[in-house]
Structure 1
Amino acid sequence: MSRRLKRLVFLATLSLTLCACNRVGLAYRNLDVIIPWSLSDYLDMTREQKGWFNDRLKEHLSWHCTTQLPGYLAWLDRLQHMVETHQINDAALQLRTQEAKQAIAQTARQITPSTVELLQGLNDQQVDEMNQAFAKDLQERQDQYVKPPLAQQIAQRGERMEKRLSDWLGPLSASQRERVVTWSNALGDQNQQWIANRAHWQAQFSAAVAQRQASDFPQRIETLLVNRETLWTPAYRQAYANTETQARSLIVDVMADSTPVQRQRLLKKIDKVRSDFSALKCLKTAQRT
């Protein structure tokens, strides 16, 4: 993951997309964040498929940079204003989160037709290999996040969050670290629900791809990519709602307890992200037209 991508991931974290542990990796620092999984991680494409995929990816990246990034810059402005005016509160975070989710859905909807076309062109061997890759991915995540005792899961989750926050705010105070511990404990066995839901999604995706020539295949893929929340298990739906609530509460409390030095560091980070995005050639071209 690139440093720039990590910056955006944290900003999304601050806006509550921190609770999503989705796969990233489609070679663009925004597009890969908002696509829930990466085809290249699971498919061994032929030379022809790779050529077609790269051409389509370029088109999607151009669309994304010229039509979506301006909105991202405005989103960063709103986030920066929240920090500057000490308005990191639950209502504001919910609003920023909703804006981020809308951006995710819009891009997922945009790339769905290309995803459908690629999947419909897979042969049976490629589908089998994709399913095997899914199974391997799931097992690795289970071993890392579910197999350890619950107390260890909670401790590791807290350590990951403390590192993320420290990267952007600098060293945390004792009270901030304690708040992170409280947050991690409040999530309980969320890892189990997340992995179970991931397995549920992968099973539905595999079932759809097995019938990739069916007339309803495009709609099934759109549901899986754009409206995936409608397919969540009841247990994960409840766990996710708790995750969002606990994450907002954590961010509000940590920022309320932040020092001027920490806030200044965060503002500099936000400004660096804005500068990086503003410097992209495709965005400059769009702004001149």
Structure 2
Amino acid sequence: MSANHVPLLPPHRRLSTAKIAALALLLVLLQACSAVKVAYGQAPALLSWQLDSYLDLSSLQKARLAGDMDQLHAWHRKTQLPLYAEFLAKNRPRFAQDWSKAQACTAFSEAKTQLQPALDQLESVGSWLLPDLSKKQLAYLENKLADSNAKWRDEWLDVSAEALLKTRYKQLLSRSEFLYGDLAAEQKKAIRSLLEKSSFDARKSYALRIARQTEFLELVRQASPATAEADRLKAQALVQSLLARDAQTTTPYQADLRDEGCALFADIHNLTTPAQRLRAVSTLKAYEEDLLALAVRG
């Protein structure tokens, strides 16, 4: 099973550097195949590489970051993987039954809670890394974000409504078939119909993306450079603010999309056959076993 099957973040969600790192680690975890055992072992190097790609880190920063990531990885393996496996074991039997929108929202909320400790652990990394960024590194970050925004516009904004629908449909179908196996033509048609009713607005999503990036860059500039302990404490407070900000700044549009996502998941699941649901249960069981095996290995 290839890394192309890693779940994709919705295009309206854009994250701070710390959250990018945390979610990269967590998404590497959630590949339901034996390859996850190899990928998880490489997670610290992968996370460091991703941060370096955005920040052009110095050799000293890379060395310190590598040590922090190794510590985070050891903590994560020992304390978090068993919890993820427990979460999957709890929810796996539900896939043999119908889902309601409320049940889906509850499960999504529980999943978000499961991920929060990893984000909290990254606070210690951000507290020294952000204040250490030079003006040159901040400019590098701005350029990387600008390049990323241009690619986002090409894929999501500067396209026809039909092309946008096709892109969203292909992503959703890929995720659905990863879990349930091949879907029938009528099921695919129903999924496309559900997406046609979506309230997703690329312009609103892009505006949110830019607003979050702007806010993030302003906070990073406040934290850089740090020349005294008082600056370090200020940087720590800023990182805490960054990590908490996502839940605090949900707009009505985002709330609508989140609510719609719960309904969409339930609707698609309820279209599946008993055999497809058994495939989903089996897939989640494979996740669970891999996570437990990784935790024991640590």
With the shorter chain as reference, the TM-score category is 0.7 to 0.9
- Equivalent residue of 1:279, what SS? helix
Q: CA deviation at 1:41?
A: 3.1
Q: Does residue 70 of structure 2 align to residue 65 of structure 1? A: no
Match of 1:76 in 2: 88
The code of the aligned residue for 1:250 comes to L
Match of 1:217 in 2: 235
TM-score by length of 1: 0.82
Summarize the alignment of residues 2-41 of structure 1 with structure 2, pairs less than 5 Å apart.
3=2, 6=5, 9=7, 29-30=25-26, 38-41=50-53
Q: Deviations over 1:252-275 (max 9, x none)?
A: 222222112211211221111112
- Whether the aligned pair in 2 keeps the contact of 1:90 and 1:248 (CA below 8 Å) is yes
In structure 1, the gaps of 5 or more residues are: 11-16
- 2: distance between equivalents of 1:198 and 1:231? 12
Match of 1:264 in 2: 278
- Whether the aligned pair in 1 keeps the contact of 2:123 and 2:240 (CA below 8 Å) is yes
Please, which moves more after superposition, 240-249 or 124-133?
240-249
Query: 1:114 pairs with 125, 128, 134, which one?
Result: 125
- 1: distance between equivalents of 2:76 and 2:161? 40
Match of 1:179 in 2: 190
Q: How many residues align?
A: 269
- Equivalent residue of 2:77, what SS? helix
Identity %: 19
Q: CA deviation at 1:147?
A: 0.8
- Equivalent residue of 1:119, what SS? helix
Q: CA deviation at 1:126?
A: 1.0
Q: Deviations over 1:209-248 (max 9, x none)?
A: 112145533222222223323245xxxx222222222222
The code of the aligned residue for 2:292 comes to S
With over 3 angstroms needed to count, the CA separation of the structure-2 counterparts of 1:119 and 1:20, relative to structure 1, is same
Q: CA deviation at 1:28?
A: 6.5
The code of the aligned residue for 1:114 comes to V
- 2: distance between equivalents of 1:94 and 1:160? 21
- Whether the aligned pair in 2 keeps the contact of 1:83 and 1:267 (CA below 8 Å) is yes
Q: Does residue 58 of structure 2 align to residue 53 of structure 1? A: no
With over 3 angstroms needed to count, the CA separation of the structure-2 counterparts of 1:98 and 1:130, relative to structure 1, is same
- Whether the aligned pair in 1 keeps the contact of 2:22 and 2:118 (CA below 8 Å) is no
Q: CA deviation at 1:25?
A: 6.1
Q: Does residue 157 of structure 2 align to residue 146 of structure 1? A: yes
Match of 1:13 in 2: none
Q: CA deviation at 1:125?
A: 0.9
CA RMSD of aligned residues (A): 2.8
- 1: distance between equivalents of 2:249 and 2:234? 16
Q: CA deviation at 1:146?
A: 0.9
Q: CA deviation at 1:194?
A: 2.2
Query: 2:113 pairs with 102, 109, 116, which one?
Result: 102
Match of 1:199 in 2: 210
In structure 2, the gaps of 5 or more residues are: 31-46
- 1: distance between equivalents of 2:22 and 2:12? 17
